[in-house]
Amino acid sequence: MKISIIKIGGNVIDFPEKLDEFLSLFSKFPGHKILVHGGGIMASRFGESLGVMPEMVDGRRITDKDTLDVVTMVYAGLINKQIVAKLQALKVNALGMTGADGNLIRSIKRPVKGIDYGFVGDIKEVNIKLIDHLLQADLLPVVNAITHDQKGQLLNTNADSIASALATSLAAEHQVNLYFCFNKSGVLIDEKNENSIIPLINEDIYQELKKENVIHSGMIPKLDNAFEALMKGVNHVWIGKAENLLLAAKGKLSGTTIERHRYDLY
């Protein structure tokens, strides 16, 4: 089975018109697919309105008990159900899920190593049998950034990591492509210049760009997850603007393609 894992970021989710446009494109995306979403911008805004201020380290959210309550309400509730309802209106039979639903994704609380991330989950296991059953029943899973430890504790888990874990787990038995959609044209040399796309990144280029601080903050975990996915059998990883998703599906030049292979830079 050919399966596409498509992750959408908060910079699109937070704007209703952009989200509607993306979901319209997504509904036309060919083949079996899974949608993964976070919603950090909206979670930060709701948290601030409740006096729960966001704290980020290297693009990852520190999650204390109050923050966990906020992100669970926003990711698993408001955003997830809005997306599912919009997909149903587009005649896509979507099913909203956390990692706890059907024991889809089991995580452990991240150990403290210098930084205490709080109730943040590191993924340990994905229930691929459940995914197979859902896809074979023509249901489209919409997975949000909440997982569980199978001991009753919910955990905030990076949505890019969830997309990567789903992709790598399914790659053992299926042909899997992974797409990261956000509000930029791809990985950029200059954040302010949408035309400065880096069309291809391999491991050597990635390390060089990190050293030069061209790639930093939230892009680092995104690319770390992309390379991990490739190392574990995922066929193809793409990063780009949400509205270019169908172009990427057709193999047309857009966004940034991630490749595992090393090349001589000179």
61 is in an annotated binding site: yes
Rounded to an integer, the average pLDDT of 240-265 is 77
Helices (H), the chain: 10-13, 16-27, 40-49, 65-71, 80-89, 128-136, 159-170, 203-211, 219-231, 245-249
Q: What pTM did the predictor assign?
A: 0.91
Q: What are phi and psi of 103, to 5 degrees?
A: 55, 45
Q: Is the pLDDT of residue 252 over 80?
A: no
Q: What are phi and psi of 207, to 5 degrees?
A: -60, -40
> What burial letters (b/e) apply to 138-159, b meaning 16+ CB within 10 Å?
eebbbbbbbbbbeeeebbbbbb
40 is in an annotated binding site: yes
Rounded to an integer, the average pLDDT of 143-154 is 98
Task: Give every CB contact of residue 15 below 8 A, 6+ residues apart in sequence.
Answer: none
Q: Is the pLDDT of residue 243 over 70?
A: yes
Q: Is the pLDDT of residue 222 over 90?
A: no
106 is in an annotated binding site: no
CA-to-CA distance for 234 and 5, rounded, in angstroms? 10
First to last CA, the chain: 39
Contact between residue 62 and residue 117 where contact means Cβ atoms under 8 Å apart: yes
pLDDT confidence band for 61 (50 / 70 / 90): confident
Rounded to an integer, the average pLDDT of 102-109 is 98
Tokens 């992709």 belong to residue: 167
Q: Is the pLDDT of residue 266 over 60?
A: no
Question: pLDDT (tens digit, 9 = 90+) per residue, 65-101?
Answer: 999 999 999 999 999 999 999 999 999 999 999 999 9
Q: Average per-residue pLDDT in the chain?
A: 91
Rounded to an integer, the average pLDDT of 143-149 is 98
Q: Is the pLDDT of residue 218 over 80?
A: no
What is the set of domains in the chain, with CATH numbers?
2-53+80-93+131-145+158-258 (3.40.1160.10)
